[in-house]
A and B are shown apart, each in its own frame.
Chain A
Amino acid sequence: MPGSLKKVIVPLSETNIPRPDVSIEMRTMEVALPEETTTSPEQTRPVEASVVRKYLLSRGNSAIADKSFKALMAICAASIFGIVVLIASELVISSQLSWHKFGLEFFYKLNVDPDTHLPTFWDPVAGTFYALPFLYGTLVSSLVALVIAVPLAVGSAIFLTEMCPKLLRGPLAFVTELLAAIPSVVYGLWAVFVLVPLLREHINPVLMSIFNSEIAVKTLGWTGLVGETGLFGGVNYGLGMLAAGVILAVMILPIISSLTREVMSAVPHSQREAALALGATRWEMIRMGVLRNARIGIVGSIILGLGRALGETMAVAMVIGNRPEISKSLLSLGHSMSAVIANEFSEASDNLYLSALIEIGLALFVVTIIVNALARFLVWMVTRGVPARVN
């Protein structure tokens, strides 16, 4: 809309100012109010102004309003950057103390107690803070989750996009969406009362008897993964790395599955038709026509699932066992970066303790930002240029 409020009011009272830009509204208005302007400008101006303003507002001449509205919306959009900067600066400032005390060693030092010669990483009483067991726990539980979740998620995505009868597709997609909406703490509750007993009573004994059997030790003993000191050695608590990995797998399944579905439906139909026309079976069509074209996006969705697993807090804190140690066995109790923050933050008594926890948070922030950015980029590589998905 050309012509702002000011431009319109002025020519009515002081005629020496040049006429505003060509505008139909302007002319009709001058016709509407001719006499008052010439007779007594001083007295009638406020009345006129209000009349004019009312008139203009009713016609919606609003360049200023438009500009300020746009600016306001832009501020809202820019607030997203503000949040990122705010989080980063707060974390960096608050973790200075621990950063100056421990430096980069905070993340990788295998600290050994000089008296007992036992590894001590995390001792708030003695003021010893090294984050290695938390990094290890986060990494291992996330990897276990990926190993379990990726085949299942990709398999179910293949079923839902390529094989499923149309009738089932909607409900099944809805169910996987629902799985993504369940809060972390409810997963944790379920894990504590259902999954952990199940692992302790039924699954772990089976795994232990397989991995610790004599045949396994004889044939695969050299790998170090079997036997009492292997992946499934030690005490069977039920809680521990494996429990955390399994519940994480359940939680990241829907994320990987739905993104994989999206990427796979972005593959053009001509690819499928070409493969089928050449005599491929359905699986060969999926393998050559769909999976090969969508592989970058699938990797992206897996990395996105990894990002979610790395940052997942409550469910992990409830089942991982909360013991800051490093052990090869998946049955042993461990700890993770997010779990230690959740468990100890509100009871951290001194500033160094608090600052060490915040530094772990900062590491978590940086890692998840990188992982998520990478994943989004990979997914975008496949889905760009594809019109909005219509189910």
Chain B
Amino acid sequence: MKMATKPNLHSKYRSAVDQLATGLAVAATLLVVAPLVAIFVYLIFKGASSLNLAFFTHVPKPVGETGGGMANAIVGSAVLLGVASVLGIPIGIGGGIYLAEYGRGTKFANAVRFTADVLNGVPSIVMGIAVYSLIVIPQHHFSAFSGGVALGIMMIPTVTRTTEEMLLMVPNSVREAALGLGVPNWRSVLSITLKTASPGVITGCMLAFARVAGETAPLIFTAFGNQFWSASLNEPIAALPLQIYVYAISPYDEWHRLAWGGALVLIILIVLAVSLVRYVTSRGILKGAS
């Protein structure tokens, strides 16, 4: 009863600790957000000034000459991501369909799910080495194809898990309605369940796409990079993140400028993808996913 009328030292201490903890939590959040703000400010500040038409239409100039762009790297990234998507997205979606539609609760599905999560944490450079000894060594040369395969393999676990999550969001009544109308199971899965979940599945694919779009490590010894135009699958090819890396560690100011420009382009691509995912998963039948 005393405490209610006159707060004693102990309760003062408790509320002080409470205040302190709140303050620390706020400070921690600010410190988490700070680097992001700093990175974005720098990217926009430094990158925007080097983005011009030449950046998107020219190949890099030799050292010492100003101007030039990253057109070959942008095309190269597109080629690599194309190969990666052709390999990674169908297999990933297939795996997701199996987990959500056929394997619910089975040991096999649990093992697949667990392995996919673990595979997601394997460093990308290890994938690069594996693809190197699988494709590059037998072929005796670096190639765009091997780079695409490395990226595609990295997409599979992510796409599998997001597809599964999105399919699980689809209510069972939709499946039952399709089956009740006499639609065979496989068609019900493809044109009813998957179609219902398609916004989420597509954005999940875009998320995986954005993630591998920024990957550099596995490309160093698969796609290798190229200073000239090349869109051939059988030759070394330039890629945006690889070019950023090479330019960033070079001693030339002109190349640093291009690196910032490339980084800005990459980030815009990724922010768009992430925002889209956020937007799709915050509405409609897929609400609450991701």
Contact = CB atoms under 8 A, between A and B. Distances in A.
B102 A376 contact: no
A179 to B, nearest CB: 5
Contact of B182 (A60, A77, A365): A60
A315 to B, nearest CB: 10
B74 interface: no
Interface in A145-188: 151-156, 158-160, 163-164, 172, 174-179, 181-188
Contacts of B21: 158, 282-283, 286
Contacts of B98: 70, 73-74, 76-77
Contacts of A312: 123
Nearest to A285: B18
A390 B133 contact: no
B177 interface: no
Contacts of A283: 17-18, 20-22
A188 B43 CA distance: 12
A181 B211 contact: yes
Contacts of B36: 175, 178-179, 182
Contacts of A91: 126, 129-130, 133
Classify chain A: how many residues form its interface, as a range. Answer: 35 or more
B185 A66 contact: yes
Contact of B130 (A87, A304, A390): A87
Contacts, number: 289
A77 B121 contact: no
Contacts of B245: 185, 188, 314, 318
Contact of B189 (A60, A69, A368): A69
Interface string A49-88: 0000000000111100110011011111111110110110
Interface stretch (B48-56, B58-66, B152-160, B196-204): B152-160
B1 interface: no
Main secondary structure, interface of A, reads helix
B220 interface: yes
A1 interface: yes
B14 A177 contact: no
B145 interface: no
B102 A80 contact: no
A390 to B, nearest CB: 4
Interface residues of B, number: 102
B24 interface: yes
A169 B168 CA distance: 25
Contact of B43 (A186, A250, A365, A375): A186
Contact of A90 (B93, B133, B221): B133
A62 B18 contact: no
A80 to B, nearest CB: 5
Interface string B93-124: 11101110111000011011011111111111
Interface stretch (A214-222, A266-274, A338-346): A338-346
A365 B129 CA distance: 11
A307 B121 contact: yes
B195 interface: no
Contacts of B137: 94
A252 B157 CA distance: 20
A156 B103 CA distance: 37
A130 B140 CA distance: 28
B280 to A, nearest CB: 14
Given A185-B248, A190-B42, A1 B184 contact: yes
Contacts of A84: 115, 119
Interface string A257-278: 1000000000000000000000
Given A91-B130, A281-B17, A192 B121 contact: no
B248 A189 contact: yes
A90 B29 contact: no
A345 to B, nearest CB: 5
B214 A183 contact: yes
Nearest to A254: B32
Most buried by A among B108, B117, B211: B117
A313 interface: yes
Contact of B119 (A83, A152, A310): A83
B262 to A, nearest CB: 9
Contacts of A284: 14, 18
B288 A152 contact: no
Contacts of B174: none
B233 interface: no
A293 B263 CA distance: 41
Nearest to B129: A361
A86 B94 contact: no
A192 B220 contact: no
A282 B124 CA distance: 42
Contact of A338 (B32, B125, B271): B125
A372 B118 contact: yes
Contacts of A174: 274, 278
Nearest to B263: A186
A93 interface: yes
A306 to B, nearest CB: 10
B183 interface: yes
B271 to A, nearest CB: 7
Nearest to A250: B35
A193 B256 contact: yes
A308 interface: yes
Given A74-B98, A156-B28, A176-B32, A183 B270 contact: yes
Given A84-B119, A282-B18, A186 B267 contact: yes
A21 to B, nearest CB: 16
The 6 lowest CB-CB distance pairs between A and B, nearest first, are A183-B214, A155-B28, A311-B123, A76-B94, A372-B121, A69-B186
20 contacts: A59-B182, A77-B99, A77-B103, A79-B156, A80-B95, A87-B130, A90-B130, A155-B25, A181-B211, A183-B213, A190-B39, A190-B43, A257-B32, A281-B18, A310-B123, A311-B122, A311-B124, A341-B125, A346-B220, A365-B123
Given A77-B98, A341-B125, 16 more contacts: A62-B187, A76-B95, A159-B25, A160-B29, A163-B22, A182-B39, A185-B245, A186-B214, A186-B266, A188-B248, A250-B35, A282-B18, A338-B125, A364-B125, A375-B121, A391-B288
